[in-house]
Amino acid sequence: MAVGLPGAGRLRAGLLLGALILTGCPSDDDGGPDWCAGGPSVTAVSFAPTIVPGSRFEISGTGFDASCGGLTVFFRGSFEGRNVEAEALADVISTAEVRYEAGPELLGSLGGDAGRFVGELGVRRRDEGGATREAAVPVAFDVAAHLVPSAGNATPESVTLNAVVVVAGSGFLEGAEGTSEVVLDGTFRVDGGGTRSVTAVRLPAEPLEAHDRTRAAFPFAPAIAGILPGAFTGTLVIENRHGDGTVTASAPLPVTFTLGASFVTDVVPRNPTLGAIATITGAGFIGGAADQTLTIRLDGTATPRGGSPAVVSGLELVPVFVDGGRAEYTIVPVRRGDVLVAEDFDFSWGTFAGTATPVLRYGAELAEGLPTSIDLAIGPTRQVVFVSFLAGFSDALRDFGLRAVEAEVRSRVLDKFRRVYDGINLDVRAERPEDYYPGGYAVVEIGGPDPNGRGLFGYDNTPGKDAGNLRLHDHVGGANAEVQEDGYAGFGGVFVRSFLCWSSHRPDDLVCPDGVADPDFDRVFDPVRSREVVAGESPAGPDAARAAAIEAAVSALGNLVGDTAAHEFGHSLGMANPYGPSDAVHHEPPADGCLMDSGSYRPFAERAELAGTTPGGWCGEERGYLEAILPVGP
């Protein structure tokens, strides 16, 4: 079906990829401002200079809220001298970005599959009441059904395995348009003698930058001529495979490449600890396929801290391939008797000095790279802890009237956790670690209600007292069916809603022990529970007294949660009474300010760090024990 537009070319109904979903504009129930009242704005558009089916337009701006009405992308201008207009549904990425992927319909609506469009590209919104608001920016681009690539040069000529080779030319494809491939033919002369025929070896060629059709890159992969150093002489052709199956190709480009040996340049960080993921940098690395392996051979001297140097010969590390210049190696902790050590080094704290040599295997082929001098220090053991705030935590803050200041409460929780372990090699994190593997860091979950139904403030459900901290990966949270030393199996973590048990007017559905209500709790939290905190009141709201009350509640709750998290994780580390029997898990006898006292001996004021109290800390042998298992360098 064709629809005529006065003074314009044809608009194909098929370009509208589906019915527009029109919804009412959200507005404030009490007559407040309507954020749908303003129209969209366009600040920038990104696209390739020549458009083919599958090309993507990326449009930045504001007001791209689909809940305010149906959003479309439109083109209005001239195509080869004819006035045209075309419209299509927008792919809404966010309120600040929409995208449109050009299909054959666009080319047809513009009036042909070859030519030049000059005009404007914009975003249009149709509101429920029929009002249309739009914004556009000027654009110009060429249109083609297919692109014929060209190749002008390929650099560098001196390469290592999987080095990035950049081909300068034109007509490269990206994304849904199709694929561009490098096709190599020629001869490879191996250093030391022998030649190999290279016939129609295909490798993907990816644009270096989005929408840039002038530069594409491919890896000098082992599939070209193996892994031994040598020299390639031959031709390079670029083939484009379009989305409709059409194949176009460039003229052959004569090329030469000299393939050098692999080598290591560095290990980052230089002082990884147990469980850490170290990045080995260099050149000529292979991997990522069943027929390719990379190991790093170490030869030199390893010296445990406080021990004697030992000769290391032919120790092979097995890293994970990332790309031609990077591989990742995990310092895997294993148990040796009653201590943890690095699996490949047999110590948790020490140094290695010597050489690192890449060893490559590709099918039946073996190649050794160049040895590089390297110094590496491991340890001392660091306990990394990821504090995971669950959705239930956010919900529980509503019961305290503090949902609007959740970020501040979280910050105080982490601060308290860190202060408790100050001077101990323990690293508390708010984000899941990416520089440690899952077996190298612990997790403490902060939730809302106690899923055990017992009104617990917190519970360490890890599998038994870990004297010596031989488990770096404990998970204080989730479900554990294993019966603990206290004869209980259940959910672990910190349960924030249970803190309301200290209130004299707790929620009716809350299960609490008898006789725990504390007037100090209501004094601190009643001002925010009776009048929930709203945006703008903290940290420096218009009412100084109100701001002070909010600050007091945020500080107290942050300390409560952080104190409890530190206590439960203390159990995970093997406390209290770390040198005592397995069922001795609390400090005895109870004393003022002892974090590892049983919960019934730890009043609200102490946990919340109210004025005049002693904050929870280490008592008896606990501090010395922690410094022994998690020492701070050098």
Q: What is the pLDDT of residue 108?
A: 80
509 and 427 assigned to the same domain: yes
191 and 325 assigned to the same domain: no
Instruction: Please say if the pLDDT value at position 462 is more than 50.
Output: yes
549 and 409 assigned to the same domain: yes
Strand spans (E) along 337-448 = 339-342, 350-362, 365-368, 372-378, 383-389, 426-429, 441-447
Instruction: Please say if the pLDDT value at position 474 is more than 50.
Output: yes
Question: Is 280 part of any domain?
Answer: yes
Q: Which of 123, 346, 271, 226 is nearest to 632 (CA)?
A: 271
Task: Give the tokens for residue 168.
Answer: 């300068």
Q: What is the mean pLDDT of residues 120-127?
A: 91
Which is more confidently placed, 21 or 539? 539
Q: What is the pLDDT of residue 3?
A: 23
Distance CA 321, CA 221 (A): 13
Burial track 439-465 (b if 16+ CB lie within 10 A, e otherwise): ebbbbbbbbbbbbbeebbbbbbbbeeb
433 and 449 assigned to the same domain: yes
Question: Domain of 16: which CATH number?
Answer: 2.60.40.10
Can you spell out the DSSP letters for 221-250? -HHHH-SS-EEEEEEEEEEEEETTS-EEEP
Instruction: Please say if the pLDDT value at position 2 is more than 60.
Output: no
Domain count along the chain: 4
At 11, the pLDDT band (50, 70, 90 cuts) reads very low
Arithmetic mean of pLDDT over the chain:
90
Render pLDDT for 55-95 as a digit per residue (tens, 0 to 9): 999 999 998 987 888 899 999 999 988 999 999 988 999 99
127 neighbors 26 (Cβ within 8 angstroms): no
Q: What is the pLDDT of residue 478?
A: 85
**Region of residue 620 (left: phi > 0; alpha: psi -120 to 50; beta: else):** left
Q: What is the pLDDT of residue 543?
A: 87
Distance CA 93, CA 100 (A): 10
> How far from the centroid of its chain's Cα atoms is residue 401's Cα?
31
Question: Is 264 part of any domain?
Answer: no
At 609, the pLDDT band (50, 70, 90 cuts) reads very high
Question: Is 560 part of any domain?
Answer: yes
| Residues belonging to the chain | 634
The CB density around residue 437, as the number of other CB atoms within 10 Å, is: 19
At 208, the pLDDT band (50, 70, 90 cuts) reads very high
155 and 107 assigned to the same domain: no
Q: What is the pLDDT of residue 480?
A: 62
Render pLDDT for 168-184 as a digit per residue (tens, 0 to 9): 999 999 999 999 999 99
The number of helices, as runs of H, and strands, as runs of E, in the chain is 8, 39
Instruction: Please say if the pLDDT value at position 287 is more than 80.
Output: yes
Q: What is the pLDDT of residue 37?
A: 66
At 34, the pLDDT band (50, 70, 90 cuts) reads low
Q: What is the mean pLDDT of residues 417-428?
A: 97
At 199, the pLDDT band (50, 70, 90 cuts) reads very high
At 301, the pLDDT band (50, 70, 90 cuts) reads very high
Instruction: Please say if the pLDDT value at position 408 is more than 80.
Output: yes
232 neighbors 257 (Cβ within 8 angstroms): yes
497 neighbors 448 (Cβ within 8 angstroms): yes
Indicate the residue among 326, 359, 378 that finishes a domain: 378
Angle between the 406-420 and 544-572 helix axes, to the nearest 10 degrees? 50
Question: Domain of 332: which CATH number?
Answer: 2.60.40
Q: What is the pLDDT of residue 485?
A: 54
Indicate the residue among 110, 144, 178 that finishes a domain: 144
% the chain with pLDDT above 90: 78
Q: What is the mean pLDDT of residues 221-240?
A: 98
At 484, the pLDDT band (50, 70, 90 cuts) reads low
CA distances to 67, 303, 625 from 22, in Å: 8, 71, 65
360 and 391 assigned to the same domain: no
Tell me which amino acid residue 382 is. Answer: R
Beta bridge partners of 70: 126
Question: Is 634 part of any domain?
Answer: no
Q: What is the pLDDT of residue 273?
A: 97
Q: What is the pLDDT of residue 516?
A: 87
Q: What is the mean pLDDT of residues 340-358?
A: 96
At 19, the pLDDT band (50, 70, 90 cuts) reads very low
Tell me which amino acid residue 619 is. Answer: C
Contacts of 327 (CB under 8 A, 6+ apart): 279, 280, 282, 285, 287, 294, 296, 319, 320, 321
399 and 371 assigned to the same domain: no
Instruction: Please say if the pLDDT value at position 211 is more than 60.
Output: yes
Q: What is the pLDDT of residue 197?
A: 97
467 and 583 assigned to the same domain: yes
Instruction: Please say if the pLDDT value at position 475 is more than 50.
Output: yes
At 482, the pLDDT band (50, 70, 90 cuts) reads low
Q: What is the pLDDT of residue 488?
A: 56
Tell me which amino acid residue 133 is. Answer: R
Instruction: Please say if the pLDDT value at position 30 is more than 90.
Output: no
Q: What share of the chain is helix, strand, coil (3-state, %, to 5)?
A: 20, 40, 45
Question: Is 32 part of any domain?
Answer: no
% the chain with pLDDT above 70: 93
At 8, the pLDDT band (50, 70, 90 cuts) reads very low
Instruction: Please say if the pLDDT value at position 42 is more than 60.
Output: yes
353 and 465 assigned to the same domain: no
Indicate the residue among 360, 378, 396 that finishes a domain: 378
Distance CA 22, CA 130 (A): 9
The CB density around residue 88, as the number of other CB atoms within 10 Å, is: 22
46 and 178 assigned to the same domain: no
pTM of the model: 0.85
Q: Say which range, 102-111, 405-414, 449-458, 562-571, has the weakest mean pLDDT.
A: 102-111
Distance CA 565, CA 559 (A): 10
Distance CA 259, CA 324 (A): 13
Range of the domain at 280: 269-378
Instruction: Please say if the pLDDT value at position 9 is more than 50.
Output: no
**What pairing do the DSSP bridges indicate for beta strands 50-51 and 11-12?**
unpaired
96 and 125 assigned to the same domain: yes
Q: What is the mean pLDDT of residues 572-595?
A: 91
At 490, the pLDDT band (50, 70, 90 cuts) reads confident
Distance CA 113, CA 92 (A): 27
430 and 451 assigned to the same domain: yes
Contacts of 250 (CB under 8 A, 6+ apart): 148, 149, 150, 151, 169, 171, 237, 238, 239
Q: What is the mean pLDDT of residues 337-345?
A: 94
